[in-house]
Amino acid sequence: MNEVQGRLKVRDEEKKALKAEWQARKEKRRQEEERRRKIEEERCQREEDRRQKAIERKERELAEMRDTEVKHLTNLTNALEETSIISNPLFESIETVEFLKRYCQK
């Protein structure tokens, strides 16, 4: 009877060791899956941040271009509305044309 009890005890210890090993492997697998999931989430978040920054940059560039175009248009409109020739951005060209007209008439 002692021999059978000894074998049973050894078998129970082996089962406990196998179960503990199985639980350790299961836990290790779970931790690895969790680590991979976190890495994938971080990668997705970085990609989303990158896309968002690109969208914001494009919107900012468009707004700057629009503002610049409006500013140039306003400046050009103001210059054309002014009545004095000297403040006209084409003053030098006008002056040259007038000089050539007078030269040709002589």
Instruction: Tell me the pLDDT tens digit for each residue of 30-56.
Output: 999 999 999 999 999 999 999 999 999
Are 80 and 90 spatial neighbours (Cβ–Cβ below 8 Å)? no
Is 8's pLDDT higher than 90?
A: no
Q: First-to-last CA distance in the chain?
A: 142
Q: What pTM, to 2 d.p., does this model score?
A: 0.50
Are 82 and 88 spatial neighbours (Cβ–Cβ below 8 Å)? yes
Are 85 and 91 spatial neighbours (Cβ–Cβ below 8 Å)? yes
- State how far Cα 85 lies from the chain centre: 49
Are 54 and 48 spatial neighbours (Cβ–Cβ below 8 Å)? no
User: pLDDT tens digits, residue range 62-72?
Assistant: 999 999 998 88
